Chain A
Amino acid sequence: AQTVTQSQPEMSVQEAETVTLSCTYDTSESNYYLFWYKQPPSRQMILVIRQEAYKQQNATENRFSVNFQKAAKSFSLKISDSQLGDTAMYFCAFLMSQGAQKLVFGQGTRLTINP
């Protein structure tokens, strides 16, 4: 079974700083997808960024980028120039490309951006 581990329950940085959230996963599959979701107090899970395992190039979306290390099964999220609106819970998630089609989530990291 696939597992996702986020080792940082909480993080806090000052506005405009850069912050990196860690995620590791365990799978025997070679083809899969990885995601970072943001969950603000409104509770809605919002997709931040997506990475296909077959792609060597790290995904980027504006201020958000990932460091995908397939051999190490590591998938960290970097937020540059952090903003107050980035304050939220962040979840790393794994999805197999075939077979059991369900997102497996980590425990989450509570990120607080301070003014």
Chain B
Amino acid sequence: EAGVVQSPRYKIIEKKQPVAFWCNPISGHNTLYWYRQNLGQGPELLIRYENEEAVDDSQLPKDRFSAERLKGVDSTLKIQPAELGDSAVYLCASSFYSNTEAFFGQGTRLTVV
């Protein structure tokens, strides 16, 4: 069974440019998460989806970040415009239900210069 797939693995952009990350969760998993991990810290939740509904986006900076989960499967996280402080690893995870263990992708390392 394939795991959580994220792309790209690395992205370098100039500040004020837009960027998008893509995530394909494990087949059959209803819950999808986007986490941000700053250097030397643990991941922090940005948004959680139950199927196609965003049920927790309280930590998502909505002035510049947006996300969608098409048909309750794949998800895209977008930043526009990017700021220097957005440099981090963006992790996608999925779980069968929200109170079961989450499986993570390999993340996208974003560098904003």
Interface positions of A (Cβ within 8 A of B): 4, 33, 35, 37, 42-47, 50, 91, 93, 95-98, 100-103, 105-108
Chain B positions within 8 Å of A, measured between CB atoms, are 31, 33, 35, 40-45, 48, 56, 89, 91, 93, 98-99, 101-107, 109
Question: Secondary structure at chain B's binding surface: helix, strand, loop or mixed?
Answer: strand
The reply to whether A102 and B91 form a contact with Cβ atoms under 8 Å apart is no
13 A-B residue pairs with Cβ-Cβ distance under 8 Å, sorted by A, are A33-B99, A37-B104, A44-B104, A45-B91, A45-B104, A47-B101, A50-B101, A91-B42, A95-B99, A102-B33, A102-B56, A103-B43, A108-B42
Give the Cβ gap from A50 to chain B, nearest Cβ, in Å. Answer: 6
Q: Report the minimum CB–CB distance from A21 to chain B (whole Å).
A: 13
In the complex, A47→B103 CA distance in Å?
A: 7
Chain A nearest CB, measured from B87 CB (Å): 14
In the bound assembly, the distance between CA atoms of A47 and B109 in angstroms comes to 21
Q: Which residues of A contact B48 (CB under 8 A)?
A: 101-102
- Which residue of A is nearest B89, CB measured? A43
